[in-house]
Structure 1
Amino acid sequence: MKIAFLDRDGTINKDYEDKQWTTIVEPEILPGSIEGLKYLQDKGFKFIIITNQYIIGENYITTKQYNDFNSKLIEILKDKGIDIDDIFYCPHARRENCNCIKPKKGMIEQALEKYPNIDMNKSIFIGDSKCDLELAENIGVKFFGINLNCKNKIRNIFEIRKYAKEL
Structure 2
Amino acid sequence: MSDTTDAPDRARRAFSDHGSFEAAGEGDRYVSTSTAFDGVVTPAAAEDGQLRFDVTVTVPTLGAAATEGVADVVEDGWFDAFERRVVDVGGVTRKSREFDVDVTRHEETVVVETSLVDINERRGVDDAAAVIDFVEGTYVQGIVPGYEYEGPAASLLSKARRQGKSGGVP
TM-score range, shorter chain: under 0.3
Q: Highest Rg: 1 or 2?
A: 2
Query: Which structure is higher in RCO with an 8 Å CA cutoff and minimum separation 6?
Result: 1
Compare the two structures and name the one with the higher strand fraction.
2
